[in-house]
Amino acid sequence: MEILNQIAEFLEKGEDKSVHDLTEQALKNGVPATQILNQALIAGMDVIGEKFRAHEIFLPDVLLAARAMQAGMELLKPLLTLAEQSGLGKIVIGTVKGDLHDIGKNLVGIMLKGAGFEVIDLGKDVSPEKFVDTAINEKAGIIGMSALLTTTMPVMNNVVELLKQKKLKDQIKVIVGGAPASEEFAAEIGADAYAFDAASAVERVKQL
Ligand code: B1M
């Protein structure tokens, strides 16, 4: 669909106003929010990731693209969070210490809220203690962690270890996600689940 390609292209150029306006237009045209998300915003961000890896673009370009992505996501958010049901349970989410990537984590939070979970979002750069203390104080049954850097993945392990130390590993379940994470990694650190994307995160959290 042409408008989805255009949104992706403007996102790649970091033009937040155009991304906002075209996203609004696409919604008016009846394009489903999830299609705009997957085929325009995430698709555009994937291209940015590839170009950054190939040194074709630099950090300021990535920042502009991230801002443009947020501009589109702001419009999609209310549509993705139209709660289907409520009272499913409480989950604490955040991006782990040392890691500032929060777009994917925000998306996971939006989808979980949309599915009826109460989500406590601790933001980014979250310490293991903060994850665990918040889960205890808020009586949340699940901790969800996001990491986008191979260097910050070990923090997820620290959270699992802290739960073990406090003898809470059985009561508080852990789900991990983010580009460098995997089923194998989750199993290795003793997490209860791994999710590849926001939609599967909802499924896995429901199972937990
Ligand atoms: Co950076 N960055 N970045 N970055 N960045 C990556 C991750 C990188 C892969 C780019 C690359 O080299 N190709 C690379 C990591 C390499 C590695 O570790 N292997 C990288 C790097 C190196 C860095 C810096 C170190 C760069 C530097 O300073 N030299 C730096 C680190 C800063 C820090 O965190 N301390 C840095 C900074 C940044 C920005 C701040 C500029 C910006 C982030 C802005 C923000 O988030 N507010 C940024 C961005 C935007 C990216 C890329 C291009 C896009 C990430 C993104 O938002 N994707 C990224 C390349 C890439 O991933 N293709 C890259 C869209 C998002 C919807 O997907 O986050 O994967 P994602 O989330 C998905 C799934 O992973 C999953 O569901 C989401 C939705 O489907 N998921 C979960 C995520 N969390 C989950 C949790 C769950 C379940 C599923 O359960 C709880």
Cα 189 from Cα 5, distance rounded (Å): 39
**If you measure from the C-alpha of residue 41 to the centroid of ligand 1, how many angstroms do you get, rounded to a whole number?**
14
Are 119 and 93 within 8 A, CB to CB? yes
The answer to whether the CB of 181 is under 6 A from ligand 1 is no
Cα 37 from Cα 121, distance rounded (Å): 21
The answer to whether the CB of 195 is under 6 A from ligand 1 is yes
**If you measure from the C-alpha of residue 149 to the centroid of ligand 1, how many angstroms do you get, rounded to a whole number?**
7
Q: What is the pLDDT of residue 80?
A: 82
The answer to whether the CB of 48 is under 6 A from ligand 1 is yes
Domain 86-207 has CATH 3.40.50.280: yes
Confidence of residue 170 (pLDDT cuts 50, 70, 90): very high
For ligand 1, atom 89, name the residue with the nearest CA. Answer: 177
Q: What is the pLDDT of residue 83?
A: 46
Domains of the chain by residue range: 2-84, 86-207
**If you measure from the C-alpha of residue 152 to the centroid of ligand 1, how many angstroms do you get, rounded to a whole number?**
11
**If you measure from the C-alpha of residue 30 to the centroid of ligand 1, how many angstroms do you get, rounded to a whole number?**
30
Are 29 and 1 within 8 A, CB to CB? no
**Residue 90 phi, psi (nearest 5):** -115, 140
| Residues whose CB falls within 8 Å of the CB of residue 202, separated by 6 or more in sequence, listed in order | 111, 112, 114, 115
Q: Tell me what the mean pLDDT of segment 31-60 comes to.
A: 93
The answer to whether the CB of 45 is under 6 A from ligand 1 is yes
Cα 71 from Cα 116, distance rounded (Å): 24
Six-digit token string for 201: 């995160």
- Residue 83 identity: A
Give the single-character DSSP code of 59: H
Are 147 and 155 within 8 A, CB to CB? yes
**Topology of the domain comprising 2-84:** 1.10.1240
Cα 175 from Cα 191, distance rounded (Å): 6
Confidence of residue 51 (pLDDT cuts 50, 70, 90): very high
Summarised one tens digit per residue, pLDDT across range 62-113 is 999 999 999 999 999 888 875 445 567 899 999 999 999 999 999 899 888 8
pTM (2 d.p.): 0.90
